[in-house]
Amino acid sequence: MPRTVLATFPLLLLFACRADSTAPVAPAAGAPGSLEALAQGRELTPDEARAALETFVPPGKYDEFVMVTSGGHSGSIYLIGIPSMRLLKEIPVYAPNSWQGWGQGDEEASRLWKEGTFAPGNPNLPTQTWGDLHHPQLSLTDGDYDGEFVFVSDKPTGRVAVIDLRDFKTKQIVKTPNVISDHSGVLTDDSEYFITSTFQPAPGGPGVYAPLSEYQEKYRGAVTFHKFDRAAGRIRLDQSFQIELPPYTQDLSVAGRGPSDGWFFINSLNTEMATGGDLEGKDPIEIGASQNEMDLMHVINWKRAEALVASGSPKVITKGGIKVIPLSVARDEGLLYFVPESKSPHGLDLTPGGEYLIASGKLDPHVTAYSTVAIIKAINEKNFEKNDPFGIPIVKLDAVRAGYVEVGLGPLHTVFDNKGHGYTSLFLDSAVAQFTLGPPYNKPEDAWKLTDKISIHYNIGHLQTPGSNTKHPRGRYLVALNKWMVDRHTGTGPLHPQNLQLIDISGPKMRMLSESPIIGEPHNSHIIESTKIAAWRVYPPGTDPASMKPGPNATKQGDERIERKGKEVHVHMVVIRSHYKPDIIRVKQGDHVTIDITNAESAEDATHGFGLHGHNITASIDPGATQRVEFTASQSGVFPWYCTEFCSALHMEMQGWLLVEPK
């Protein structure tokens, strides 16, 4: 810390701690050039000046935490430094990205997209190039972040993706069989399964039709346990399984741990099974789905389900390439139960030790805490109030409710700190409520009490604290991920960015620190220590990013060449500051061209681009990597390419020719 700051910092803190800390700085000014004078000059309150000092990360210094957050409509993941809230990186997943050449000629992304959307199994449907990415989940080892992988869901498509945190690239996109959409995506404690549940029920996967009049009979939800093979870094559908669920709208979910290990919990709404039909004289879904006072939390004994699948039982069917447990089997084998929950619930969160589920109905100003031990006990003792229309037993609410805290209007999601608190986002109140958890986090007499509330600005959705989804929440910061920004930043047109707000939760009262706009509505996020992510700085020479190993397509310097076999042209190219070798590729119209580009650089950040005119192809080749681009030269002409990264003094000279002779 520079000496001038050291000298004035205690002074500033002193007057920042006065009782009325929101008042403008007192006119009794500090010396010209002092921090006090600076704060006054910028009309900062002592609290604001303090927050600025607490969140400023000087040039060249690193942020303590990284927030891995959903980029919502962007179809990407964003990495944001905390406390600075600086955007560090975008990781494209479901949508094209010019900077990284993602999905724009790069063979790997194109292959992933084809595999991971409704096409190609359904040739009448196009390859999907948009996503609405809601739920990223950092990989876990023994219930804590290990910094190795990120798993992500995609609401419109019912698919999941795996990102490797060694190179921050998407490695796999898997279309979940037999479903159209999903929403939630969470892990078990050792990343054995990434679990998604459907949002909108359907009679099956893409291409399966049944009329809405057969909704109850033919439409189903599903929960899918995507088996993760950690050594390979890939999901294995052939070792995964799915459980059919009633055609309710399954929403957010969480995997048990500690006393609830082996169990899985999912919120649901529209247990009325309303299907809309406003032009057909029926209630719109909004009305039809709000009739019941209580909706139904799904309680799933997934360990027992896994054992049933492993036993090779004929009751488990294979459908769409995955093992499926039909709804009636789930009922008869004791795999599925319900617990009543306040209507139209959204968030479902588990305390760090696995003792309590926190659920909130959006229309009930309370959060409800359920004891997981009591739920399991009630199931074992058959303490049921009735069955749902599919014969699934519903546990008695009184037997399992541990706490009921009035927090405010529109409660959504809950996160945790390391001091025995829960924090719930209040969509309608535009606030965050802090409350005390039950034992063992607090004494019984101190449990389930509202302890603090802070206003945020416009509709909050998710919120997050470092390590909240793990056994060991770290506390300190809370980020509110808000939907609307309204007047918080300079006007940028009718469509505003969304807005993140950083809150200090280390003291007795929550304090607003800063805010930052972000592109694409953020949903969930996880926050991890920066030092826990073991990012590679360069690839070992010739690395194929798909396998993270030296690949067969790599070319050594001196071995550059063009091979021709009939209409197949195969270019083995090396790029290094500041040229491509070869820099002329001659082909005939109609030839199929494959270019394997190896970046021979070993310097950090020495990435080169390959932007080819006329073919919708751009690639970004990181130091050490080999990337493949592939296309058919259908049009004769002269198509230069150039390097899209300003990589050197002779970057402008880094270019080449694709010459397509007419046939």
Residue position matching structure tokens 């029920």: 201
- Closer residue to ligand CUA, CB minimum distance, 399 or 643: 643
* Cβ–Cβ < 8 Å for 492, 486: no
> Cα 274 to the chain's mean position, in Å?
29
Q: How far is the CB of 414 from ligand K7E (least distance, A)?
A: 11
Q: How far is the CB of 462 from ligand K7E (least distance, A)?
A: 5
Q: Binding ligand CUA by CB under 6 A: which of 645, 655, 657, 659?
A: 645
What burial class does residue 565 get, using C-beta atoms within 10 Å of its C-beta: 0-12 exposed, 13-18 middle, 19+ buried?
Answer: exposed
Q: Binding ligand CUA by CB under 6 A: which of 651, 655, 657, 659?
A: 651
Q: Is residue 85 near ligand CUA by the rule CB under 6 A? A: no
Strand partners, 196: 185, 224
Q: What is the DSSP string of 279-311?
A: GGTS--HHHHTT--SEEEEEEEEHHHHHHHHHT
Strands 584-588 and 655-661: parallel
Q: Which does 257 bind (CB under 5 to 8 A by kind): ligand K7E, ligand CUA, none?
A: none
Q: Is residue 183 near ligand K7E by the rule CB under 6 A? A: yes
Q: What does the block give as tokens for 578?
A: 């500041």
Q: How far is the CB of 399 from ligand K7E (least distance, A)?
A: 28
- Closer residue to ligand K7E, CB minimum distance, 428 or 548: 428
> x/- binding map, residues 239-278, to ligand K7E, per CB under 6 A?
-------------x--------------------------
Q: What does the block give as tokens for 230?
A: 């950690």
Q: Is residue 71 near ligand K7E by the rule CB under 6 A? A: no
- Closer residue to ligand CUA, CB minimum distance, 415 or 597: 597
Q: What gap in Å lies between CA 593 and CA 568, rounded to an integer?
A: 6
Q: Is residue 583 near ligand CUA by the rule CB under 6 A? A: no
Span from 130-138, 405-413, 446-454, 645-653 in contact with ligand CUA (CB under 6 A): 645-653
Q: How far is the CB of 575 from ligand CUA (least distance, A)?
A: 7
Best CA proximity match to 510, nearest among 502, 499, 518? 502
Q: Which does 412 bind (CB under 5 to 8 A by kind): ligand CUA, ligand K7E, none?
A: ligand K7E
Best CA proximity match to 156, nearest among 247, 72, 242, 232? 72
DSSP annotation of 115:
H
Q: What gap in Å lies between CA 72 and CA 133, rounded to an integer?
A: 5
* Cβ–Cβ < 8 Å for 152, 116: no
Q: Binding ligand K7E by CB under 6 A: which of 96, 352, 408, 461?
A: 461
Q: Is residue 647 near ligand CUA by the rule CB under 6 A? A: yes
- Closer residue to ligand CUA, CB minimum distance, 241 or 580: 580
* Cβ–Cβ < 8 Å for 287, 281: no
The residue length of the chain stands at 663
Q: How far is the CB of 519 from ligand K7E (least distance, A)?
A: 16
Q: Is residue 462 near ligand K7E by the rule CB under 6 A? A: yes
* Cβ–Cβ < 8 Å for 482, 462: no
Residues lying near ligand CUA in the complex (CB under 6 A): 578, 608, 643, 645-647, 651, 654
Chain positions contacting ligand K7E, by CB under 6 A: 134-135, 183, 252, 346, 412-413, 461-462, 523-524
